[in-house]
Amino acid sequence: MHNDNQVCDGKGSKPDIILHYNITKDGVDNLDEMTSTYSCQRMTARWPLVIFYNIIDVSAYNAYVLWTEKHPAWNVGRLHKRRLFLEELGKALVQPEMMRRKTLPRTAAGKSAVESLRKDAEQPSTSGITDTDTC
């Protein structure tokens, strides 16, 4: 396929390799569409950051797919399940650092802001994601 010069006789007369690519590219296009809906990517001129942002987006999507396969009853009937998952994932990743910083000295305004965020984080989650669940 890659080394021959075969061309399809249909409209446009495209090479077979182009037709094969067009048939099999759906998975990549679907992943790009899903990760662009909720993405952590930011404008940057530094290519390592672009790659890092893409790794984060794809990893978060993979975690979502694994979570929904392991827990099919999670948030049944709710819209925007992926957004809910990403919110819970973010809270689960930030919470240990918030607890570590609890003992650091701070101003009264900073302390009240951290306490309000901590109260939100300590409320029972409706999603059921915990740090003890692993994929």
Tens digits of residue pLDDT in 14-64: 888 888 888 888 777 788 888 888 888 888 999 999 999 999 999 999 999
More confidently predicted of 83 and 20? 83
For 38-67, b/e burial (b = at least 16 CB within 10 A) is beeeeeeeeeeeeeebeeebeebbeebeeb
Rounded percentage of the chain residues whose pLDDT exceeds 70: 81
Arithmetic mean of pLDDT over the chain: 82
- Identify which has the larger pLDDT, 10 or 106: 106
Q: What is the pLDDT of residue 51?
A: 94
How far is Cα 110 from Cα 54, in angstroms, rounded to an integer? 33
Cα separation of 90 and 87, whole Å? 5
For residues 92 and 130, is the Cβ–Cβ distance under 8 A? yes
Radius of gyration of the chain (CA): 22
Sign of CA dihedral 27, 28, 29, 30: positive
Between 7 and 62, the more confident residue is 62
d(CA 121, CA 131): 13
Give the pLDDT score at 56.
94
High-pLDDT (> 90) share of the chain, %: 31
Q: Residue 63's pLDDT is what?
A: 95
End-to-end CA distance of the chain: 38
Confidence of residue 117 (pLDDT cuts 50, 70, 90): confident
Record the tokens describing residue 80, joined without a space.
Answer: 């925007």
